Amino acid sequence: MDENSKIVPVEIKGWNWGAFMYNIFWGIGNKTYLPLLCLIPLFNFLWIFVCGFKGNEWAWQKGDYTDVETFKAVQATWNRAGLVQFILTIAILVLYFLLFVVLFSSVLNQNNY
């Protein structure tokens, strides 16, 4: 993908946690609107991974960045926020699952008496 005739530097390519976790907001903030496809039910589960993989390239092509360092500084904020959100989401899911297991086992033990 070579939009706007901007070649994507090799240093830019890579995973973007911000594009993965905040796909729609990240897309609007970076003037790239392909992440809006995450609004399509069922398709969105696949598309969030595409956003994570291709996000840096899309942002570089749509943005008016003059150098790689500036781009990386801007995306570093998105990456930190996305990674923190991912870790919190996994932690909450694990706690929810553990709570469900404890409650379920409690109900089963109570029925045995």
Residue 93 pLDDT: 97
- pLDDT-based confidence at residue 2 (cuts at 50, 70, 90): low
Report the pLDDT averaged over residues 30-35.
94
Percent of residues, the chain, with pLDDT higher than 70? 94
Binning pLDDT at 50, 70 and 90, where does residue 113 land? low
Query: Structure pTM?
Result: 0.83
Closest-CA residue to 51 (of 87, 84, 75): 75
pLDDT in tens, 55-108: 999 999 998 888 999 999 999 999 999 999 999 999 999 999 999 999 988 888
Residue predicted with more confidence, 16 or 111: 16
Distance of CA 99 to the CA centre of its chain: 26
